Each structure stands twice: as C-alpha cells, then as structure tokens.
C-alpha cells in the first residue's frame, strides 16, 4: 500500500472505474444475451462508479451537499429512464439495473473512503446476484413448501434466536455460554443449509459425485444412509452410489479442518497432517475407482439427501454440544487425558462436528492441550468413518459394500498411521 500511496488519489479513481466496469460487464452481457437494451452498460456503470468517487473526493473541500446532489441527480436520471422504458413498454417491470446503478455509485464512494476491500467484495456479490437471475428464479420456483419453512427456520436460528441469548457463562464452571453454544449451532446449520441450497440450485443432473460432495458438506452420515439404502433399490447404480458415499466421507475431513480453523487456527495446524492424509487417501481411491469402473450416464434423480436443517435438529445439536462440553470437562477431571479420548471415541460414532467444536473451544481456552485436542479430533473422525462403514455394511447392497468398505478401511488405516506419526513420533 506504500507504493499505492504515491499515486493518491489516482489509483482510487482507477479502482472505482474497474468496479463499475465489472458490474457493467455483466449488464452488457445480459443485454446481448437477452436482446433487451437497457439504459446502462459497461461504459455507463464505469462512469457511475467514477461519479461516486469524484463526489466523495470533493466532500473534503465542498462538503457533503455536493455528493448528496450527485446521488440525487443519479436517482432522478435512473427514475426518468425507467419510467420512459415502462411507458414505451420496452422493459420488464423490474429495477435490478436501476438498483445496481445506485449501488455502483456508492461503491465509488467507498473506494475514496478507504474501504476499497469492502467495495470490491460487494461489487462481486452484486454482479453474481445479477448474473444468477435465471438460476435463482428457477430454484425459487422449484422450492417446496417445506423448503420455504426450512429457510425461515434457518433465519429464526441465525437472526432471531442468536442475538437474544446472553453472551456469558451461566454455570459455575464457566462452560455453558448460551450465545457461544448457539453460535456453533448457527455455524454447523449454515454449512449444511448451504449444501442443501446448492443441491437444489444445481440439481442432481450434475452427477452423483457432485451430490456426494455437497451431501458431505451437509451431512456425510445422512448421505451414507441415503445412498446405501438406494443401492438396494437400484443395484445397477451401486458402484456410483458407493463413489458418492466415499466422496461424502472424504469431504468430512476438510469440513472438520475448516470448522477448527475458524475457531482456533493452532489446533487446525496441529491436526492438519492426518486430516490431509485421510483426504488424500479418499480422493486417490475415488480417482482409481472411477478409472476402473468408468462413468455412468444414469442420473440418481430419485435419491434425495435429507434436509440438513430443521429447528428440532438445531436444538438437538445445541444440547449435544453442551452435553459434550460437560462430559469432556468431567471426564478430564476424573480420568485426565484418557477421559477426553474416551469421550471423543464414543461421541465420534454418531457426530464428529459436536465433539470437534467442543474440543476446539476448550483448546482455545487452554483447558486442554493442543496435543490432546488434536488426537481427540482425529480419533473422532476415525470413529465417524468407522460408523459410516457399519452403515454401508448393514444398509447397503453387496455391490456397494464391495466398494465402500475397502475405501473406508484404507482411509482409517492411513489416518491411524499419519496420526501416530504426527502426535506420537515427531
């Protein structure tokens, strides 16, 4: 930034032009694709962003009135243009371009206000929203009543309940902070909900591997149950279903790493070698199995991964998270490190996220060492992988078991070796 300071304010004006050009590029492409002329393209949006930058630059010498007049003039021109287009019946009754123009002006203001990072991030988001019009509208039209309910439930979990909770520990041991516990609920639910939305937008026709990947983001255990059951109904698709189960199980490892990284990066670094080794083992097996079995044109459209977010599920996860915190604390006090490992061993059989988040929080507060927390997180991931193998064995077809069990066995073996080398050798 020291080099850029020598070119003040010119580089900011250039940056504002680029932001306007980014949004204008999308509008220009939309006009050519839809063959519907609009009042603004790449040149106009670039000039609008530059107008905002110049207006903000002049505030220091001429006051905010000039900037307000510039914005008011832009709004007036946009309104006149929109009204004229409607009068001539050339435009759909939408104001996406018009709102985008006003936002572009404000992005230019942000650049001069030394908020260029925020400006470019918002400009990219704005361009994406404009470009995804058809896909977003199609996804909304295809939403069921339950999808709407689940969306509202997530809004309730994240935007209504969370701010109302006290951000302090309510127990004598300083473990149960309602705000932090529910924040973990929102975090996990957000990942699962995002995966569910992506699956609805992209659709199953993108391929079973993609479904396995997105299903792994939502819930690798639920994905394993769904595809294992489907393999009995459609045995011909068993190799493809098996690949999706392995993919979902493999995606779990970077998901756990990401959860830890956000909350306590040192623990993520500590646990990264075995998690990376298990990820690599799963990906290699998927690649080799894909080469051996070949692709399939069949689309698993009949398979639906269960919705990863319901209010009852969020509440259960919050209770489980709090329960795990208490169990780890008392297990550590009673049995020391052995108690933490035993808790991780048992909890990992059903859910790896709750125990990982609990351990990460305790490690961040120095209530357990990075060594103990790292071993326990990897142990939970190994036990969760083992439980998915059991699900595939008891719920899947013989053909699915033939593919899934060796893959998960290799992942577990690699995890044990890499974990042993990481935590007990070096």
pLDDT by residue (tens digit) across 310-369? 566 567 767 776 777 777 767 767 777 788 888 888 877 767 887 888 889 889 888 889
Res 305: pLDDT: 47
Res 29: pLDDT: 77
pLDDT by residue (tens digit) across 132-172? 776 676 667 766 776 777 778 778 878 888 888 898 888 77
Res 296: pLDDT: 47
- Cα separation, 239 vs 242, in Å, equals 5
185 has pLDDT over 90: no
Rg from Cα positions in the chain: 26
- Nearest 5°: the CA angle 214, 217, 218 is 90
298 has pLDDT over 60: no
DSSP 269-327: HHHHHHHHHHHHHHHHHHHHHHHHH-------TT--PPPS--HHHHHHHHHHHHHHHHH
Whether residue 9 is preceded by a cis peptide bond, meaning omega within 30 degrees of 0, is yes
Res 341: pLDDT: 86
pLDDT by residue (tens digit) across 15-43? 899 998 888 888 777 666 665 556 667 88
pLDDT by residue (tens digit) across 238-283? 887 888 889 989 999 999 999 899 889 999 999 999 999 999 999 9
Res 297: pLDDT: 44
Cβ atoms of 361 and 329 closer than 8 Å: no
Q: Token digits for 1?
A: 């930034």
Res 95: pLDDT: 77
Res 144: pLDDT: 72
Q: The pTM is what?
A: 0.58
Q: How many beta carbons lie within 10 A of that of residue 346, not counting itself?
A: 14
pLDDT by residue (tens digit) across 202-239? 554 455 667 678 777 767 877 787 778 778 877 877 88
Cβ atoms of 214 and 198 closer than 8 Å: yes
pLDDT band at 378 (very low <50, low <70, confident <90, very high): very high
pLDDT by residue (tens digit) across 82-122? 777 666 655 455 677 888 889 999 999 998 988 888 888 88
- Cα separation, 174 vs 159, in Å, equals 25
Report the residue count for the chain: 426
413 has pLDDT over 60: yes
Res 134: pLDDT: 67
Cβ atoms of 221 and 192 closer than 8 Å: no
């Amino acid at each position: 930034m020291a080099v850029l300071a020598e070119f003040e304010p010119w580089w900011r004006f250039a940056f504002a032009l680029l932001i306007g050009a980014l949004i204008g590029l999308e509008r220009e492409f939309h006009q050519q694709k839809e063959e519907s002329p609009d009042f603004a393209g790449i040149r106009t949006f670039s000039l609008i962003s530059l107008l905002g930058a110049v207006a903000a630059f002049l505030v220091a010498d001429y006051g905010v009135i000039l900037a307000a007049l510039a914005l008011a003039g832009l709004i007036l021109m946009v309104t006149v243009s929109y009204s004229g287009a409607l009068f001539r019946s050339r435009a759909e009754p939408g104001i996406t371009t018009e709102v985008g123009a006003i936002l572009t002006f404000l992005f230019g203001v942000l650049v001069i206000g030394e908020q260029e990072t925020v400006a470019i991030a918002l400009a990219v988001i704005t361009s994406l929203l404009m470009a995804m019009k058809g896909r977003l509208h199609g996804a909304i039209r295809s939403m069921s009543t339950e999808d709407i309910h689940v969306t509202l439930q997530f809004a309730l979990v994240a935007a209504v309940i969370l701010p109302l909770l006290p951000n302090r520990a309510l127990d004598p041991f300083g473990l149960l902070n309602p705000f932090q516990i529910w924040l973990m609920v929102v975090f996990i639910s957000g990942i699962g909900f995002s995966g569910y939305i992506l699956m609805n937008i992209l659709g199953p026709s993108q391929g079973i591997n993609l479904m396995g990947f997105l299903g792994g983001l939502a819930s690798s255990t639920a994905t394993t149950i769904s595809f294992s059951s489907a393999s009995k109904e459609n045995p011909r698709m068993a190799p493809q279903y098996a690949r999706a189960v392995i993919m979902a199980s493999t995606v779990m490892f970077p998901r756990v790493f990401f959860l830890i990284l956000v909350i306590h990066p040192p623990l993520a670094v500590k646990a990264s070698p075995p998690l990376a080794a298990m990820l690599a083992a799963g990906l290699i097996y998927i690649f080799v199995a894909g080469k051996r079995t070949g692709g399939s044109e069949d689309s698993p459209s009949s398979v639906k991964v269960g919705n990863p977010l319901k209010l009852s599920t969020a509440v259960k996860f919050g209770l489980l998270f709090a329960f795990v915190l208490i169990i780890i604390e008392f297990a550590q006090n009673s049995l020391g490190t052995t108690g933490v490992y035993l808790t991780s061993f048992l909890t990992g059989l059903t859910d790896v996220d709750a125990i990982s988040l609990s351990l990460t929080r305790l490690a961040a507060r120095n209530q357990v060492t990075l060594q103990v927390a790292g071993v326990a997180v990897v142990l939970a991931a190994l036990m969760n992988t083992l439980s998915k193998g059991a699900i595939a064995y008891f719920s899947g077809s013989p053909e699915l078991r033939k593919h899934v069990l060796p893959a998960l066995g290799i992942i577990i073996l690699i995890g044990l070796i890499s974990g042993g080398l990481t935590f007990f050798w070096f």
